[in-house]
Structure 1
Amino acid sequence: MSEAARQPPGRTRSQAQHALRSLGRALKPGLAERGRAVAGGARAVWARVEPVARPISAAGWIVIAAAAGSLALWLGFGWIEFAFLSFTLFAAVVVAVPFVFGRMAFDVDVSLTPRRVVAGDRAFGRIAVRNTAEKASSPARVELPVGAGLAEFHIPQLAGGAEHEELFAVPTERRAVIVAGPAISVRGDQLGLLRRTVRWTDPVELFVHPRTARLTPSAAGLVRDLEGEVTKVITDSDISFHALRNYEPGDPLRNVHWRTSARTGTLMVRQFEETRRSELALIQSTEQSRYASEEEFELGVSVLASVALQVIRDATELSVITEGLQLRTATPVTLLDDSCRIEPANGAYPSMREYVREATKRLKAPSVAIVVVGSAQPLADIRAVDAHFGPATQTIALRVETGAASRIQRVGDAVVATVGELAELPRIMRRIRP
């Protein structure tokens, strides 16, 4: 019996596996090197082929594939019908080639008037194409994406220096940021097999602001200017004097009350009651499942923007936050521009309390927190938000419910106001008493 036959089967398999692993390690550097060489060669080939293949549209590739398949059926089975089909399809591609040749010298300008509108107002766009060449241009087609749509303009033959202008309407029924552009000129055949494009402009944005209601300044004292108002917090440096205490190492010498220290023989320092300025946090829950409809969500955005605008006019420090965006509050215009970008969220946070905790952890403790929620938001979530802020913060929830009767109620220490329509918001804000 040979030595290999006397070895146990398990040991034989182990040796075979070891040999295969050794062979793999030996071949691995060579395979990796060949893989890199093949990839490099493919990139080099594509770099040469890509300029030719770029004008071929999806329909063009389908026609070429069908022509190649028909040719293979003819050669393989001798079916003459597929030969005619193959030649016809290839001829269609060849005939389309001259349509993509030619050079255009255009100066294209796209403008929107006005650049900012309120949802429902009218907005118009203008596209002007000027031939910058000395010779006349051939007719062309210009495509301009406008929001989710695509506008097509047929540019006639233009003499040197001539200009052609087209006007178009922009849909503004919904709050949004509508992007117009980039404008591209298209050359190609009528069947759409080949298509060569040239980009002429950058995108232009149109801001469709939400509808808002004008509130009275500092409605019902809701947004109070607390500057100079004394709180119960004791601090070592402020304006309102509170009491004296014994000096401790590290206390600033400017707070030492020298007259009392001389009388008692012990260093005494002043303590103060902290004064504060109002800090308002305006938070909207954009969780889509908490709103009954898209109209209700838009009502929530309008309520958020209306309150924020009045707070900015009152020159009160403000933070406006949603699940996906913290809005800029430098000016009313920047706030309204950012409100156009508010989108519904889907499961961004496990709970309302977790969302508020995460959204406000980098902010100073607010004196007033206004939370905008949908009609499907449980009142227990509002109570949890109020508990998160604590007794030093007055929590007010504006609960939007399309068509509902306006009412105000208390949930624990929080005030909950139901807003059925935007026109009722000024009256509701006047009635709220923190």
Structure 2
Amino acid sequence: MTAADRLRPRRTAQGWYALRTLSRSASRTARAAAAGVGRAWERVDAATAPVTGVVSTVGWLVLAAAIGAGVLALSFDWVEFAFVGATLLGALLLAIPFVFGRVRYRVEVELQPRRVVAGERALGRLLVVNDGASPSVAARMELPVGAGLAEFRIPPLAPAARHEELFAVPTQRRAVIVAGPAVSVRGDELGLLRRTVRWSEPVELFVHPRTARLKPSAAGLVRDLEGEVTSTITDHDISFHALRNYEPGDPLRNVHWRSSARTGQLMVRQYEETRRSQLVLILDTEAAHYADEDEFELAVSVFASLGVQVIRDGTEMSAQTERIALRTSTSTSLLDDASRIEASVAPVGLREFARQASRRAPAASIVIAVVGSQLPLAEVRATASSLSSDVQFLAFRAQSGADARIGKVGRSMVATIGELGELAAVVRRVRP
């Protein structure tokens, strides 16, 4: 092998290294250039936003059509397209004066009441006050209400003059309905240019689920003052268990002095651990487990009815869906959060969901699950088997139109609810 042959691999490696270095440098340069272009575009966009922001989607389409017609007229010498382009461009120019003008409003959006049960009536009020020193011109006010949009014509107002509009809020379905923000709209009648000013903040209306009134201590809820005694032995509790010899580190307040004097050595008290009973209430929100939307709403109503009664009974409780943990400090907070529950694809199955919920509440003695009719009973049985042996499991199965009944699946009770009015009677018969 000649010296040239020995040097060729080294030169080849050096060439590849140089090529790779050049490629990396070009890549870094390209990324830096792209970032610079992006920053420049952001600055241009921010500078032109006050002008481009008033052009509506229709306005951009009209402008594009005007430019296209002008290009065709110049390219093919078509007078007709020149006339079309001039007409469209003239419409845009005539729309410009409509976006000018300044008003000073004070706008208030009120909902009365702020909380209703699904199906009850709720009213809204829009109050517009001219806070300017000069009369205002007529304006149009838009107010989003849930998925809809309400439009109001505001007449010319003298300084400090008021204009009030009332509107009804649809509350047929459980939901959290957001009203607002109220925005004034200035622009032409064709909607080519549109300038909006925001005047208020969104206001929420809670449409609570329908609930059934249950009797106290319903659904086998455990009510205890001092807790339930367990087999766990501890040095600090209420229920006395036995005496044992003193060990270094034991608190002196646990020393039983009379027994110590009798035996001649220090003896300390031991206790059986007691704990407050806690109920875990869970709702399966997997959309595939319900026959239709009405059945899911029935399940939410059952869930909320049980939760409200548990809070009234004063039992410690945790209420959860797969995605949210509901507040249980008051009935109102629970119902507010229940208004936000939506059916979706649950991230975990019922069995894993129940296990996670019970682990988050280590003192849980009862787990109640509200499920749909499409959930296989085998899954209910598997869920009950996955829980600790000292945790009792109950299932309420929503099935629209079915006869109310109570059955046994494995070691757990399953109550079927066909309509909300049957819940109170079924709960009186359920014992975990």
Match of 2:70 in 1: 71
Indicate conservation of the 8 Å contact 2:237/2:273, yes or no: yes
Q: 1:314-354 CA deviation, whole Å, 9 max, x = no partner?
A: 111111111111111111111111110111130311x2121
The Cα of 1:412 is off from its aligned counterpart by 2.6
Q: Identify the match of residue 385 of structure 1 among 383, 389, 412.
A: 383
How far apart are the structure 2 equivalents of 1:12 and 1:240? Answer: 86
Indicate conservation of the 8 Å contact 1:324/1:345, yes or no: no
Query: How has the CA–CA distance of structure 1 residues 50 and 7 changed in structure 2, closer, same or farther, with 3 Å as cutoff?
Result: farther
Unaligned runs of 5+ in 2: none
Query: How has the CA–CA distance of structure 1 residues 379 and 35 changed in structure 2, closer, same or farther, with 3 Å as cutoff?
Result: closer
Unaligned runs of 5+ in 1: 1-5
User: How does 1:17-32 map onto structure 2 within 5 Å?
Assistant: 18-25=17-24, 27=26, 31=30
The Cα of 1:431 is off from its aligned counterpart by 0.8
Query: How has the CA–CA distance of structure 1 residues 280 and 210 changed in structure 2, closer, same or farther, with 3 Å as cutoff?
Result: same
Indicate conservation of the 8 Å contact 1:123/1:170, yes or no: yes
How far apart are the structure 2 equivalents of 1:378 and 1:25? Answer: 57
Q: 1:286-334 CA deviation, whole Å, 9 max, x = no partner?
A: 1111111111111111111111111111111111111111111111111
How far apart are the structure 1 equivalents of 2:393 and 2:321? Answer: 17
Q: Percent identity?
A: 59
RMSD: 2.5
How far apart are the structure 2 equivalents of 1:34 and 1:116? Answer: 55
How far apart are the structure 2 equivalents of 1:433 and 1:31? Answer: 71
Q: Identify the match of residue 398 of structure 1 among 380, 396, 420.
A: 396
Match of 1:42 in 2: 41
Scaled by the length of structure 1, the TM-score of the pair is: 0.91
Is 1:308 aligned to 2:304, yes or no? no
The Cα of 1:66 is off from its aligned counterpart by 1.3
Indicate conservation of the 8 Å contact 1:226/1:278, yes or no: no
Q: Identify the match of residue 363 of structure 2 among 353, 356, 365.
A: 365
User: How does 1:72-221 map onto structure 2 within 5 Å?
Assistant: 72-219=71-218, 221=220
How far apart are the structure 1 equivalents of 2:32 and 2:398? Answer: 64
The Cα of 1:243 is off from its aligned counterpart by 2.0
Q: Point out the more displaced range, 270-279 or 301-310.
A: 270-279
The Cα of 1:383 is off from its aligned counterpart by 2.6
How far apart are the structure 2 equivalents of 1:245 and 1:341? Answer: 54
Match of 1:294 in 2: 293
Indicate conservation of the 8 Å contact 1:323/1:345, yes or no: no
Q: Identify the match of residue 406 of structure 2 among 400, 405, 408.
A: 408
Equivalent position SS for 2:37: helix
The Cα of 1:173 is off from its aligned counterpart by 0.3
Query: How has the CA–CA distance of structure 1 residues 322 and 77 changed in structure 2, closer, same or farther, with 3 Å as cutoff?
Result: same
Match of 1:322 in 2: 321
Amino acid paired to 2:180:
G
Equivalent position SS for 2:50: helix
Equivalent position SS for 1:75: helix
Match of 1:232 in 2: 231
Q: Point out the more displaced range, 130-139 or 191-200.
A: 130-139
Equivalent position SS for 2:72: helix
Amino acid paired to 1:78:
D
Indicate conservation of the 8 Å contact 1:139/1:154, yes or no: yes
Q: 1:115-155 CA deviation, whole Å, 9 max, x = no partner?
A: 11100001111111121223221111100000000000011
How far apart are the structure 1 equivalents of 2:32 and 2:423? Answer: 71
Query: How has the CA–CA distance of structure 1 residues 362 and 65 changed in structure 2, closer, same or farther, with 3 Å as cutoff?
Result: same
Scaled by the length of structure 2, the TM-score of the pair is: 0.92
Query: How has the CA–CA distance of structure 1 residues 107 and 78 changed in structure 2, closer, same or farther, with 3 Å as cutoff?
Result: same
How far apart are the structure 2 equivalents of 1:37 and 1:423? Answer: 66
How far apart are the structure 1 equivalents of 2:301 and 2:32? Answer: 61
Amino acid paired to 1:123:
A
Q: 1:187-207 CA deviation, whole Å, 9 max, x = no partner?
A: 011111100000000000000
Q: 1:22-46 CA deviation, whole Å, 9 max, x = no partner?
A: 4445556655554454344333332
